[in-house]
A and B are shown apart, each in its own frame.
Chain A
Amino acid sequence: MFSNFLIGLREGLEAVLVVSILVAYLVKSGRGDQLTRVWTGAGIAVAVSLATGALLTFGPRGLTFEAQEAIGGFLSLLAVGFITWMIFWMARTARNLKGELEEQAGLAISAGKWGLVLVAALAVGREGLETALFLWTATKAAGSTLEPLVGAFFGLATAVILGLLIHRGAVRIDLRRFFSVTGALLIIVAAGVLSYGIHDLQEAGILPGLGAVAFDVSGAIPPSSWYGTLLKGTINFSPRSTWLETVTWLAYTIPVLTAFIRKVRPTRPVPGRSAVPAATSGAAR
């Protein structure tokens, strides 16, 4: 039961984390009216994943291993692109909220309308098929044992509760720190998704170097342990990583984090300029 619980928790966290940060951001910046778009994106992803998963499990056709890995891999890469865009979109609108014209903030939001649907859909959908296949096979097993289904259900439910807690915590911290912390956190998450996608494509044989392992700490952090599950579900930490995964992770994290820090820093009050830090939370409405 516990093992199935952990699978549900891991797969659930992978989807919930990005969505809960996105929701916190919208609520925090007084754009609660945009939430429908996030739920639409997430809802479409869940529906498509469950339907595809059911078709492949119960229907007349299965999916080859290469195809499943390729789908997971390419969706992950696409998700990284959109999450990165979202981080900088958030940083830009955050700056706009701090004194620039209302109109400009509105423009950034309207550009982000479809982006919001897509980010939510990709964040949930990239691992959605794998989760759906796992859920449907657990359902299939329900004839002989209910344990897998119950375990998976509680795992997913726990992920959703953790997402709610993250959202609550995120909403409480002050606006400026909120953007820095969530932005940096999302960059680490996106980097993990990127190396995960690379690993999928390596397993599918589309990219080489599956055997070239950079480090293997699965002795210290077993993937089936609860802490291994949490590390995998949140930042996509893989205890056994190939060189290509590791190098890609660094090649993404270092420049993107640098660019983000540069972008966030000028929003702090500069001496000599008449900054209005006190008005930030009020301007959001």
Chain B
Amino acid sequence: MTRRTLLAALAVMSLAVSGCTSNGDATTTVEVVSTDKECRVAATQAPVGTITFDVRNDGNDVTEFYLYDEDGAKVVGEVENIGPGVTRSMVVEAVVGSYETACKPGMAGDGIRAAFEVVDTG
């Protein structure tokens, strides 16, 4: 049991390490303001690489922020538990393509969606 537990712990740790991203200058930061009615994404596109969405909740309800693929079905990134007054970051490594952003005030429904492009700058 101990060995199995250790292996599981190692697996989780290696996942954690490989899932780390740099918070430094190499990333593009996109500001997002979510209210009870609106989802204001500061940009409609970003260069390929690490993109950090800083999502601020200016509403009264708890909100969530999602990045979906083009079809709007597969989740590329998600950050939940954004309480009123709180700013939380969502870090994604996105490949070139079309995406959809969504704020979900009240944590239910399809959310307030908008198109988002990740473009090749090279």
- The answer to whether A148 and B85 have CB atoms under 8 Å apart is yes
- In the complex, which residue of chain B has the Cβ closest to the Cβ of A77? B8
- The answer to whether B61 and A67 have CB atoms under 8 Å apart is no
B19: CB under 8 A from chain A? yes
- The answer to whether A147 and B84 have CB atoms under 8 Å apart is yes
Interface residues of B in 1-31 (CB under 8 A from A): 2, 5, 8, 11-12, 15-16, 18-24
Cβ contacts A55-88/B at 8 Å (1 or 0 each):
0000111111111111100110010000000000
Stretch from B41-49, B103-111, B112-120 forming part of the interface with A: B103-111
User: Closest CB-CB distance, A63 to chain B, in whole Å?
Assistant: 6
- In the complex, which residue of chain B has the Cβ closest to the Cβ of A204? B75
- The answer to whether A65 and B77 have CB atoms under 8 Å apart is yes
Knowing A78-B8, A222-B106, A224-B62, say if A61 contacts B84 (CB, 8 Å): no
Stretch from A15-23, A135-143, A273-281 forming part of the interface with B: A135-143
B92: which A residues are within 8 A, CB to CB?
64-65
A211 vs B6: C-alpha distance in the bound complex, in angstroms? 34
- The answer to whether B108 and A222 have CB atoms under 8 Å apart is yes
Interface residue SS majority, chain A: helix
- The answer to whether A137 and B75 have CB atoms under 8 Å apart is no
A147 vs B76: C-alpha distance in the bound complex, in angstroms? 31
The total of chain B residues at the interface (CB under 8 A) is 42
- The answer to whether A74 and B8 have CB atoms under 8 Å apart is yes
B83 contacts which of A60, A140, A151 (Cβ < 8 Å)? A151
- In the complex, which residue of chain B has the Cβ closest to the Cβ of A218? B108
- The answer to whether A69 and B78 have CB atoms under 8 Å apart is yes
User: Closest CB-CB distance, B3 to chain A, in whole Å?
Assistant: 13
- The answer to whether A224 and B21 have CB atoms under 8 Å apart is no
- The answer to whether B21 and A148 have CB atoms under 8 Å apart is no
- The answer to whether A4 and B19 have CB atoms under 8 Å apart is no
A10 vs B72: C-alpha distance in the bound complex, in angstroms? 28
B84: which A residues are within 8 A, CB to CB?
1, 3-4, 147-148
- The answer to whether B75 and A144 have CB atoms under 8 Å apart is no
- The answer to whether A65 and B18 have CB atoms under 8 Å apart is no
B86: which A residues are within 8 A, CB to CB?
4, 134, 137-138, 141, 148
B80: which A residues are within 8 A, CB to CB?
130
B106 contacts which of A59, A134, A205, A223 (Cβ < 8 Å)? A223
A194: CB under 8 A from chain B? no
Interface centre among A63, A65, A141, A147 (most CB of B within 10 A): A65
- The answer to whether B91 and A62 have CB atoms under 8 Å apart is yes
B33: CB under 8 A from chain A? no
A70 vs B12: C-alpha distance in the bound complex, in angstroms? 8
Interface residues of B in 35-87 (CB under 8 A from A): 52, 60-62, 73-81, 83-87
User: Closest CB-CB distance, B46 to chain A, in whole Å?
Assistant: 15
User: Closest CB-CB distance, B81 to chain A, in whole Å?
Assistant: 5
A141 vs B109: C-alpha distance in the bound complex, in angstroms? 27
Query: Can you pick out 17 interface pairs between chain A and chain B where the beta carbons lie within 8 Å of each other?
Result: A3-B84, A62-B89, A64-B91, A64-B93, A67-B18, A67-B19, A75-B12, A118-B5, A134-B88, A138-B83, A141-B85, A147-B85, A148-B85, A205-B74, A218-B109, A222-B108, A223-B108
A61-B21, A218-B108 given; 11 more Cβ-contact pairs under 8 Å: A62-B22, A65-B77, A65-B79, A65-B90, A71-B12, A75-B12, A130-B80, A140-B87, A147-B84, A152-B83, A203-B78
Top 9 nearest A-B pairs (CB, nearest first) are: A67-B19, A4-B83, A218-B108, A65-B77, A223-B107, A62-B91, A145-B85, A64-B19, A3-B62
B interface, CB within 8 angstroms of A: 2, 5, 8, 11-12, 15-16, 18-24, 52, 60-62, 73-81, 83-93, 106-109
